[in-house]
Chain A
């Protein structure tokens, strides 16, 4: 761990009168495995939408690798190195699995050298590392749930990110499938990619993360190692009720 890659400072977001995030601050180090937990509606997805650029934060600042990115549209943040997967998979359903990966390869990685790059071979390589190689030609609307989750991660990886945000990539998967996805994420982290994991499956997020933050009603209620988080009375209250 060396230096901070992402610094979120005092970020707030309101939807009408509802305050989804209030003055949330987090700092994530280069190469860290970071867990984000919290009950439904606590603002986890809103927070990562603000980081990835799908939403704009109203106050506070988000600094990625020294750039203030709060005002940038999502596609520019992706080009700077922030990629994400979606909680509900959003494949480009009119395209094959391989073509899904060509989009970020063409729009992020090889923007300036498109005619010389062999994007298909590169996409194939990523699919191989995700265990999706045999599905390359399959229409992406014919995939199973676990394949869709992997495609989400593969497409995010095709943007060659430095920060990967995995939004509930394991929801609804069987325990062997969870292990499979966890192994992929660990491998990515070993190659130097910083990972933010949002997850409801406690076993997964606790074994994966080095540091965990718990959100409740748009506020950080607890921050620490996985062991300390599960023992925290505030966290237990948020999940189980008073």
Chain B
């Protein structure tokens, strides 16, 4: 394991530097606009995987965390004019707390019942925002972007860079959890909660930790949304699309390893962007559905599973290693 630590941090640093160079470079503005969305889904899929992949609790409520993150920003911006980083930190705190709350649900709800409960969280959150005048209610709220910070030419470029950094942070956290004793405990409780508990694993604490970290990262991914769109309204902020793409990205990429959700989200979100531009914005939802079905049937362990199979073509299932 130790020998892989250095290459990972070099890769992480290189990603940040590359994103910095790109955001200062002279590409078409649309590149940043689309790149931001792709990176946002990398964060969401990675965050989803901490709970859904490692611990096996399938969360359909990504949109709730994402939307509440966005609304936290709006409230802070409107009331105090708080800067972006403060908005993101506050969003992480609020959605981390919400994550902790849904973690407590795991005391009684497992499997599909937990998943259904997380869907309900979306509708509760959306309904609350629709009825809250201060944040614009159902009609939404127009926001005036402040000017971007110094080295960046436009606000979108700055957001692109911020989201790239957040993606690197999210992946680093997920990777740390995966390779540490925390990850082993989460995998143990996914395989059998009772056996894990009888092996000394404090299952409730680990689930609460995973729910909190996962929720906080999702909220942070949503926090820059109001500034990105200069506008926020409930229906699109709490769109099920966020839940579905986060989950599908992780599953298509492969849930066993941190790189899976990264690959899956990049693939899926890029395809969505391409389809939106070349065909239509309705078709992009179809892309997710079709790809998910194809992968679940043909490659249940995702891209990672496919790569592993191609590397060792002889090790057919059934043969002992």
In the complex, are the beta carbons of B321 and A138 less than 8 A apart? yes
For residue A218, which residues in chain B have a CB less than 8 angstroms away from its CB? none
For residue A92, which residues in chain B have a CB less than 8 angstroms away from its CB? 187-188, 191-192, 195-196
In the complex, are the beta carbons of B190 and A94 less than 8 A apart? yes
B269 CB, nearest partner CB in chain A, Å: 28
For residue A156, which residues in chain B have a CB less than 8 angstroms away from its CB? 198
Query: For chain B residues 135-192, which have a beta carbon within 8 Å of chain A?
Result: 181, 184-185, 187-188, 190-192
In the complex, are the beta carbons of B197 and A114 less than 8 A apart? no
For residue B190, which residues in chain A have a CB less than 8 angstroms away from its CB? 94
In the complex, are the beta carbons of A107 and B195 less than 8 A apart? no
Residues of chain B at interface, number, CB under 8 A: 22
B202 at the A interface (CB under 8 A): yes
Query: For chain A residues 149-177, which have a beta carbon within 8 Å of chain B?
Result: 155-156, 158-159
In the complex, are the beta carbons of B197 and A103 less than 8 A apart? no
A3 CB, nearest partner CB in chain B, Å: 25
Given A92-B195, A138-B321, A142-B320: A108 and B187 interface contact (C-beta under 8 Å): no
A78 to B197 alpha-carbon distance, docked (Å): 8
Query: For chain B residues 197-224, which have a beta carbon within 8 Å of chain A?
Result: 197-204
Residues of chain A at interface, number, CB under 8 A: 34
Given A99-B184, A102-B184: A107 and B199 interface contact (C-beta under 8 Å): yes
A109 to B300 alpha-carbon distance, docked (Å): 36
In the complex, are the beta carbons of B320 and A103 less than 8 A apart? no
A137 at the B interface (CB under 8 A): yes
In the complex, are the beta carbons of B191 and A107 less than 8 A apart? no
In the complex, are the beta carbons of A90 and B192 less than 8 A apart? yes
Kindly list 18 other residue pairs between chains A and B, CB separation below 8 angstroms, not including A78-B199, A86-B195: A52-B198, A54-B194, A75-B200, A90-B192, A91-B191, A92-B187, A92-B192, A95-B188, A103-B188, A103-B196, A103-B201, A106-B181, A107-B202, A138-B321, A139-B321, A142-B320, A155-B199, A159-B200
Interface residues of B (CB under 8 A from A): 181, 184-185, 187-188, 190-192, 194-204, 256, 320-321
Interface residues of A (CB under 8 A from B): 52-54, 73-75, 78-79, 83-84, 86, 90-95, 99, 102-104, 106-108, 111, 114, 137-139, 142, 155-156, 158-159
